[in-house]
Structure 1
Amino acid sequence: MKDKTQKSFRGIARTLLLVFCYAFGSHTFALALEHEQTVETYKVTDVPNPRNESSSNWVSNPNQILDESYVWEINNMLSQLEDSLSIEVAIVALSSIGEDIPAEFAHKLFEHWGIGKKADDNGLLILLVLDQRKVTFATGYGLEGVLPDALCFRIQQNEMVPWFRKNDFDRGMTEGVRAVTLVLYGSDYEPVSQSTSDNYWKSASNTLWNFLANQSPMLWIFLILVNVLTYRMKVNKARPKDGSALAAIKVLTLYSPLGCLVLFFPVWPALIAASLWYKFYQKQRVILQSKTCDSCKAVALQLLSNELATPLLSASEQMEHKLGSAIHRIYQCTSCGWILRYKSVVGSEYKMCNQCHTIASKRISPWKTVKEATYSDAGLEVADYLCLMCGDKKQATQKIPRKTPPNSDSPSNSHSSSSSSSSSGSSSSSGSFGGGRSGGGGASSSF
């Protein structure tokens, strides 16, 4: 009887255990199935670019795999790294990339964002893929020397994988980033773009003085001669052609002390010397001459206001003044009443009319091609012009340059340019990374 009771109890317990296992197992299976269905799979173009959110954000964490406090710490380390060495490091933590290989995915994402400065290619991408349980480094060309593949793998194995195996992704990613920054700070890495920007004047000065110190006396004589001639040319342009007030007014209107300022050594000392001479000495003399009446020699020549000058202008001159195609100024001597007229043509859309000789002829139709240009002959196009002064209408012609024969390598060049433009465009549209390229280096580790 006792044995039957024990067997009955064991049967009931076994039945309850089976029912519990079935119920719990079904619920767990359903949860797992639901989780599997809700895991988001990312493509390269789907990954949120952290630089679109903020210039101090380097972490793409769309699935909230990393805690915000650790994201803040990582961003702080990477912002300091970028400020110090201009190196750009992007951190990406994703739940799934489907069947894609993490190393290939990281390389494509690196190129899509253009991580690193364009002149240095000094970017690094750290990709964490949760469902494949892999961490991947992808490096730019400029970092392959200081972050070789073996060192990347060692950082992953020593600083990241032990934490990832415990599912502590926050600590693993933070320690990995810290290890990378310590390696970069401790290396002799120096970005080309930063050194060029910071030391430009110093290096240019050293190059100039080293060059001059090693030159023969003949070169010094040549440089002095060039500067003397340049100085004389600028001085002559600043001197009125004669003693008239009109010549002085032309100098004041047209003369630029430095002219086309090109700062290379043989010329710029002469330009600066001519500028100082004109500013502190010659200009005052020219101003005095521009105010001296040619008739009575009194320093009483004054520019009339528009209200007083307009009645003294011809209809043609008033039209040019109205259109802005020419500047008309009238000066009058307050002592003897002598009148001086000054005209200066201004670059504009208007041309001189052949009938009334007023600068008031304007194109009123688009240019039309009447003869196509070929590789051997120039083309021809025509357009209609109308004078706003006299109403004369004429047809003007202009040549179309001959076509340039394409080079044998132009298709490839065009393709290369297009590819480059496309790559650049995708990078700029994807965020504010610097346009760097992936060197194909890096490492991957499973955990």
Structure 2
Amino acid sequence: MTHLARSLSSLFFLLWLLICLPVTAQRKWTVKEVPDPKSTPSFNYVSNPDGILSSSTVAEINGHLKRLEDSTTDQVAVVVLQSIGKKVPRDFAMELLRYWGVGRKDKNNGVLMLLVMDQRRMEFEVGYGLEGKLTDLVSKQIQEDYMVPYAKQGNYDAAVLNGVQQVVQLLSGTVIAGAYGEAVPDAAIPLDVPAQAPSYGNTPGSGGIINLYQKHVGWGGFWVLLLYVIFFLAGLKTLFEKKDRGQFFDAARPWWFLLLRFLGCYVLLPVIIFGIAGVPVNIFTGVAFFYVFALVATSVTVFRLLAQLRRKEQQGAEDDMMYFYARQLDQRWKQSIANKVLPFPLLYYRERVGQYLTRLKEGMVISDTGSEMRLQEEKQDDNYLTDAQKMEEQLKSVDYDVWAENGGKAFKLHGVLLSSKYSHCPRCNTMAYYLESDRTIEAATYSSSGVGLKVYTCKFCHYQERKEYTIPRKSQSSSGSSGSSGSSSSSSSGSSWGGGSSGGGGAGSSW
């Protein structure tokens, strides 16, 4: 009987597991029930209650976000949930960020990255203080290019880790927000224009700068040398940086390529111009030098990109993806300042990319059913677009290309983000959301802060949101001592968030 009782007990236990496990997997989380990673006395930033992410990935993400908070005071929370029921992920992310208070209260510099598995949806909720860096457009690009492709494969560790790394690099200044163009997920070739290089770095200068200093004439030469030092330090930081900052293709830049580019631009070029040729350093020769500097560096990037495009083609990429890559690169340079000030080599580059586009328009792709798919004319695109997508094309916020079967139902859709004042609507996710007005309700004085009101409207669903914000009070002088102490306390505390909030900035994507 004892053996029978044990067998029955084991059987009932197994039945209980079979009944309870599905219930546990389908738990629907509410904002107040989601475990707060800051509730434990350590530097945690990830809420992973359903165990979707591996422990090693959670630990790596925590390390990235801890270093980010220590260096910038920016706080990023990562939340991965199996289900939130019928709640809209966008609303859930905003409520959770506000409930926890992610980011410093005086800066609103918090970000919440949410993944909801059963809805196959990811959302970035961005505090008002970071909307200038992590814009709606950039948030969408990070999701689509670095996260969605891996999420579609079920590799959620890679999806979340890649997204976190991109956000950290952007907020820490490793990647300039303005340098974000369209990208492919495994890309690794930067499209920086040297004239936009960030002015940071802590590597001391070299004797070349001293020699230039001895030749400078007047204040003009002084400012030229100062700008050169900034570029030199930024170049050294890029040279010794181990992380990839690429956004387009998957081939990492070899160390010898970085070294040759650095020596050519920062050493050989000034030695030839100011040393061998004996050109005096002044404001006029300085402008000419930096123009040649940008021209050389951009030429190297341009010809390398063309080589990568050819390599993609040789690897057998389908015509629709090759066309999409070429469209993205073409659009990226249309938005670039270099496109206006560096006619060569960009004219050559645009011509070559244009040749790719012209040839690929005539190409074909085989669908899953074995039928031929070809690129549709612009007028035929509307047959495959939703009303929201038609509105985006009308507003010139997104341009869609459609590859479809002749007389069939199968088609492929690629959307290229354009330079636009529009962002994604928090309700319908259409890229038709814009700032309609920004006015002062109560002006700031020397004794009190003021209040401003921004009104955002969606041209598609007509959703409207009003966001009040604080206008700092006027001051005659600032010491910055109180701000620094606040920063120190925020970055040194890992047991709580900072009381931040969000005005609704960010973006979402489905996979």
Q: State whether TM-score is above 0.5.
A: no
TM-score bucket (shorter structure): 0.3 to 0.5
What TM-score, normalized to structure 2? 0.33
> Which structure has the greater CA radius of gyration?
1
